[in-house]
């Protein structure tokens, strides 16, 4: 399905939804939005498009729909577990939560994901002295400068540039442009792994890598600009894998899975399971070293 059949999700649910084959609907959409809202237009036009279902980055509501409530009732030991959860979306919810204790916020304010650090630095429960200390080491310029203010204004701002986020319900960047830039940077530094990186002749057991990857760790991100000339169209999307082993990126995570598959005669799903168990007791780089240096079964 070409991208042009989908509205631009960055402009919000109030935006006119336009069928490329019937451009006069744009005026109707505008009119209906004014008097009845977006839902009315969807009900009245069979050509109205739904937003493309995506696995948004950091989306935690599908994985843990009641996490906000659970955190209110959580014991201190449970909060500590959530602060170490391998999914950055879980840590993000905790970092933004009113019940998150100061010592955990202090840790989350130096998280490897800037979105998590942003939430922690903006949480009022983080003592000012700790905010000053953590913001001084913050590598994202706008976030460091904002967090150093007496009353930090860091919420609902694009993690890349600091401009307001238009769709805080789905995206943590301000625009398609920032999302594409972010995806490029994260593919370059190994935070994201695209299936196309597997190469032309991957191990047969890696053919189902995306299905073997843990649920919630494959995200759909903007990778190409919107098609030119057609209003309201969204960007081109691509699926990226993110790491489920804290301390290493997705590229290293995939490498560890690949080495286990090749050297230990495991399926991709079995290798992922081994990696997850190792990650409970070892730091990410140590997990990687174990997986990439273990003696191949054929050499025993
Ligand atoms: Zn931005």
Average pLDDT value for residue range 49-64: 74
* CA of residue 201 relative to chain centroid, distance: 28
**Distance in Å, CA 231 to ligand 1 centroid:** 21
Distance of CA 157 from the midpoint of ligand 1 (Å): 8
Q: Which of 29-38, 53-62, 116-125 has the highest mean pLDDT?
A: 116-125
Query: What spacing in Å lies between the alpha carbon of 270 and ligand 1's midpoint?
Result: 39
The predicted pLDDT at position 45 comes to 41
Q: Identify the band that residue 92 occupies on the pLDDT scale cut at 50, 70 and 90.
A: very high
Residues contacting 118, CB < 8 A, separation 6+: 140, 143, 154, 157, 159
Q: How far is the CA of 178 from the centre of ligand 1 (A)?
A: 5
251 CA to middle of ligand 1, Å? 25
Asked whether the beta carbons of 20 and 182 are under 8 A apart, the reply is: no
Starting from the edge strand earliest in sequence, which strands make up the sheet with 192-194, in order? 192-194, 236-242, 218-224
At 102, the pLDDT band (50, 70, 90 cuts) reads very high
**DSSP H helical ranges for 109-223:** 114-121, 128-136, 141-147, 176-188, 209-212
Ligand 1 mean position to 175 CA, how many Å? 6
- 161 CA → ligand 1 middle, Å: 4
User: From ligand 1's centre to the CA of 203, what distance in Å?
Assistant: 38
Q: How far is the CA of 99 from the centre of ligand 1 (A)?
A: 29
- Beta strand 236-242 with 218-224: parallel, antiparallel or unpaired? antiparallel
- Listed range (2-16, 32-46, 131-145, 169-183) with the worst mean pLDDT: 32-46
User: Rounded to the nearest whole angstrom, what is the distance from the C-alpha of residue 16 to the centroid of ligand 1?
Assistant: 23
The gap from C-alpha 176 to its chain's centroid, in whole angstroms, comes to 15
Mean pLDDT of the chain: 83
The confidence score (pLDDT) of residue 34 equals: 47
- 160 alpha carbon to ligand 1 midpoint, in Å? 5
Calculate mean pLDDT across residues 128-156. 95
Expressed in angstroms and rounded, the spacing between residue 19 Cα and the centre of ligand 1 is 28
Q: For residues 188 and 193, what is the distance between their CA atoms, to the nearest angstrom?
A: 9
CA of 233 to the centre of ligand 1 (A): 19
Residue 243 pLDDT > 70: yes
Distance CA 257, CA 259 (A): 6
Question: Ligand 1 centroid vs 241 CA: distance in angstroms?
Answer: 22
Instruction: Report the pLDDT value the prediction gives residue 3, as an integer from 0 to 100.
Output: 40
pLDDT score recorded for residue 48: 43
Burial of 272 (0-12, 13-18, 19+ CB in 10 A): buried
Residue 50 has pLDDT above 50, yes or no: no
pLDDT of residue 4: 39
> Residue 40 above 90 pLDDT?
no
Confidence of residue 231 (pLDDT cuts 50, 70, 90): low
Among 146, 217, 174, which Cα is nearest to 11's? 174
Residue-wise pLDDT tens digits, 167-203: 888 889 999 999 999 999 999 999 999 977 777 777 8
Ligand 1 geometric centre to CA of 89 (Å): 19
Query: How far, in Å, is the centroid of ligand 1 from the Cα of 173?
Result: 5
Distance 185 CA to ligand 1 centre (A): 13
Instruction: Check residue 146 and give its pLDDT.
Output: 96
- Give residue 7 CA to ligand 1 midpoint distance, Å: 20
> Are the beta carbons of 34 and 51 closer than 8 angstroms?
no
């Amino acid at each position: 399905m070409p991208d042009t059949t989908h509205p631009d999700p960055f402009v919000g649910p109030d935006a006119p939804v336009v069928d490329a084959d019937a451009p006069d609907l744009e005026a109707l959409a505008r009119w209906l939005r004014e008097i009845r809202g977006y839902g009315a237009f969807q009900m009245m036009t069979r050509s109205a498009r739904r937003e493309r279902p995506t696995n948004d980055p950091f989306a935690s509501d599908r994985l843990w729909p009641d996490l906000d409530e659970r955190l209110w009732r959580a014991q201190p030991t449970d909060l500590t577990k959530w602060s170490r959860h391998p999914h950055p979306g879980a840590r993000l919810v905790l970092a933004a939560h009113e019940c998150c204790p100061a010592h955990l916020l202090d840790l989350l304010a130096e998280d490897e994901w800037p979105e998590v650090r942003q939430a922690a630095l903006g949480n009022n429960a983080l003592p000012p002295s700790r905010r000053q200390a953590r913001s001084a080491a913050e590598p994202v310029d706008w976030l460091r400068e904002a967090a150093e203010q007496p009353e930090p204004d860091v919420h609902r701002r694009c993690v890349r540039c600091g401009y307001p986020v238009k769709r805080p319900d789905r995206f943590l960047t301000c625009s398609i442009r920032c999302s594409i830039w972010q995806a490029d940077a994260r593919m370059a530094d190994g935070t994201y792994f695209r299936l196309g990186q597997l190469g032309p002749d991957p191990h047969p057991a890696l053919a189902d890598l995306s299905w073997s990857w843990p649920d919630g760790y494959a995200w759909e991100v903007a990778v190409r600009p919107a098609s030119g000339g057609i209003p309201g169209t969204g960007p081109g999307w691509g699926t990226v894998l993110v790491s489920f082993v804290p301390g290493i990126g997705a590229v290293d995570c995939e490498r560890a899975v690949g080495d286990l598959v090749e050297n230990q005669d495991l399926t991709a799903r079995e290798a992922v399971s081994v990696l997850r168990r190792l990650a409970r007791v070892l730091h990410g780089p140590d997990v990687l070293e174990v997986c990439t240096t273990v003696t191949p079964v054929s050499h025993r």
